[in-house]
């Protein structure tokens, strides 16, 4: 039987929740009057999950205020969960994570990211997800023509997903691929056009120039394109993912993030850090290696999975 949404997310975040449980366990046994030490340890726990200093400080300040009011005890890990969950849900609004739809199809999604993040794999997963069980038509554009392996890899994922792919030869002009793919998407009544872009050129300026060219070509063929610009990040890189997101957000104008390999890290809190630092929402997460191991991101479910009610059973 297929895992439910929350169950699958919990499974993907298992490494992170185990790390948080272990960290909260450090609060057990602290005596009365140890509030300062307890707050310092709590901050350490949150930072270790890569939620970022800014988020950790906000949460610490909220809990410190509750301690002053006598609403919780600093040595009770269970009492800390409610304010942490409430504040995290407040920080990440649900509406921001909803996908953008074009006024009329096709919706064009340009996928960007550095090599090695799982970008092409994520495009394949997204193609399968967007089909909605075969009710939607998806076309892929293999615009990463600088690596022959990238086109071949995307072709394999297209076959697995059962979608059409538009590709040219190795070294071809990526914008030409996008031009032909956009024409095909319109002519064949596609609902979505996913554009897999190069992950690296010789300099960042060259990469951003190429992405801008792709954007212009797509917009000439399809009104408002690209409607989504998704950055794929490797969750296992923690704070390095935040740095990558900042750079791409400055240069490309991101609408959302696809956080890959969330199941392989104890640093799942990076989702919170990214939102707090650059206000770009996570829209999809990868929680495994299979083509169906993709989930649309829901902030409330994420927080509930990250800090489940039984988390402190392992901490006490």
Sequence-separated (6 or more) residues with CB below 8 Å from residue 68: none
- The SS3 of residue 107 is strand
The 10 Å Cβ neighbour count of residue 289 is 12
Query: Which residue intervals of the chain bear CATH 1.20.120?
Result: 5-94
Sequence-separated (6 or more) residues with CB below 8 Å from residue 123: 111, 140, 154, 157, 194, 196
Burial 196-229 (b: 16+ CB within 10 A, else e): bbbbeeeeeeebbebbeebbebbeebbeebbbbb
Q: Quick one: which H or E segment has residue 176? A: helix 174-187
| DSSP at 27 | G
CATH number for the segment(s) 103-304: 3.40.50.300
Query: Which residue intervals of the chain bear CATH 3.40.50.300?
Result: 103-304
Query: What pLDDT, on the 0 to 100 scale, is given for residue 79?
Result: 74
Query: What pLDDT, on the 0 to 100 scale, is given for residue 33?
Result: 57
Asked whether the beta carbons of 312 and 78 are under 8 A apart, the reply is yes
| CA pair distance 87, 62, nearest whole angstrom | 8
β-sheet with 228-234: strand ranges across: 164-166, 138-142, 192-196, 107-112, 228-234, 256-260, 282-286, 294-296
Query: What pLDDT, on the 0 to 100 scale, is given for residue 196?
Result: 96
Asked whether the beta carbons of 193 and 185 are under 8 A apart, the reply is yes
| CA pair distance 17, 269, nearest whole angstrom | 10
Architecture of domain 5-94: Up-down Bundle (1.20)
pLDDT < 70 positions in the chain: 1-6, 25-34, 73-77, 201-204, 264-266, 312-316
The tokens describing 258, both together, are 């696809």
User: For the chain, what is the largest distance between any 2 Cα atoms, rounded to a whole number of angstroms?
Assistant: 71
């Amino acid at each position: 039987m297929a895992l439910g949404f929350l169950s699958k997310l919990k499974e993907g975040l298992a490494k992170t929740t185990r790390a948080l449980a272990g960290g909260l366990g450090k609060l057990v046994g602290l005596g009365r009057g140890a509030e300062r030490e307890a707050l310092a340890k709590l901050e350490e726990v949150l930072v270790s999950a890569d939620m970022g200093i800014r988020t950790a400080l906000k949460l610490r300040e909220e809990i410190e205020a509750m301690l002053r009011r006598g609403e919780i005890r600093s040595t009770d890990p269970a009492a800390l969960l409610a304010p942490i969950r409430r504040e995290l849900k407040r920080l990440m609004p649900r509406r921001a994570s909803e996908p953008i739809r074009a006024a009329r199809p096709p919706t064009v999604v340009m996928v960007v990211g550095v090599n090695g993040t799982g970008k092409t794999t994520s495009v394949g997963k997204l193609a399968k997800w967007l089909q909605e069980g075969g009710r939607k038509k998806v076309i892929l554009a293999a615009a990463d023509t600088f690596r022959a392996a990238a086109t071949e890899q995307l072709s394999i994922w297209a076959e697995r997903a059962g979608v059409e792919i538009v590709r040219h030869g190795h070294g071809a002009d990526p914008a030409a691929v996008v031009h032909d793919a956009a024409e095909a998407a319109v002519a064949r009544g596609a609902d979505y056009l996913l554009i897999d872009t190069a992950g690296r050129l010789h300099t960042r300026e060259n990469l951003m120039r190429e992405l801008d060219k792709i954007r212009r070509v797509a917009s000439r063929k399809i009104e408002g394109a690209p409607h989504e610009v998704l950055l794929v990040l490797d969750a296992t890189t923690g704070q390095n993912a935040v740095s990558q997101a900042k750079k791409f957000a400055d240069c490309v104008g991101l609408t959302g993030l696809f956080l890959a390999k969330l199941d392989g890290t104890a640093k799942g809190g990076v989702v919170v850090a990214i939102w707090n630092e650059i206000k770009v929402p996570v829209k999809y997460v990868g929680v495994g290696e299979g083509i169906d191991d993709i989930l649309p991101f829901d902030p409330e479910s994420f927080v509930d999975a990250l800090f489940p009610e039984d988390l402190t059973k392992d901490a006490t």
